[in-house]
Each structure stands twice: as C-alpha cells, then as structure tokens.
Copies of this chain bind each other. A is one copy, B any other.
C-alpha cells in the first residue's frame, strides 16, 4: 500500500519535499499547523525523520488540498484520525461532503470548458477565414 517502495528508511525533510512536491517550507508549515496525524520523529540532532506512513498521509493531504479542501478542514480531518477509532462516522461525513464539492467543481469546470471551447472555436474560425472580419461582437 505504500506509495514509495522504500522499506523503512526514514526520510529527511528534503527527501520528502522531493517525493511529494511540497517545499520544505510547506512541510514545516503543515506540521506547525497541525495538519499531520502523528508527530514527526526527530533525530537526536532535532532533524525530522519521516516514515513512509507520514509520506502517505502527506500524499492524501495533497489530493485533498488540490481538490480545494481548506487547510482548516484538513486540520479537522487530521485531528479526527489522530484521535483514533470511534469517530469514523464524522470522518466519513467530512470526506463525503468534500467529495460532493469536488463533483460540483468538476461540473462547473466542464461548463467553463465548454464556454471557452466555444469562444476558441469562434476565434479559430475567424482567423482561418483571414482577418478581414472587422469588428465583431467581442462578447460572443
């Protein structure tokens, strides 16, 4: 299930940044904001050591963020997971609500796409016919 094939070697923040696409800044920021489930382990020197489970959680976070879940809600979700079993119903509600939002978003985007595609088509035609068209309705 692990997304990375690494066995159990803990990863440095830089490695995690590379694997996830998040900046090291963002990784620290997420941690400070309480967006992670467990506390990240540290070396004796104080450096973070991420497990693959940590990375997997981050990858989920990224998907949720990418699809527009606000940090506050992500934080809420992390809290629920952190507090262990017993609140699955609430987690489900949260995810389900988000899923609905994502679906609405996709619909909205598809509508936008078709509007844009229409305009692109019109401009394309206009150009293909040579630019002799003169002033034509800009709001088409």
Residues of A within 8 A of B (CB): 1, 37, 53, 56-57, 60, 63-64, 66-67, 81, 84-86, 88-89, 91-92, 95-96, 98-99, 102-103, 105-106, 108-113, 115-117, 119-120, 123-124, 126-127, 131, 133-140
A123-B92 in contact given A63-B115, A66-B108, A105-B109 (Cβ < 8 Å)? yes
Which B residues lie within 8 Å of A1 (CB)?
137, 139-140
A123-B91 in contact given A66-B112, A116-B64 (Cβ < 8 Å)? yes
Interface centre among A64, A88, A116, A120 (most CB of B within 10 A): A116
A135→B37 CA distance, assembly (Å): 14
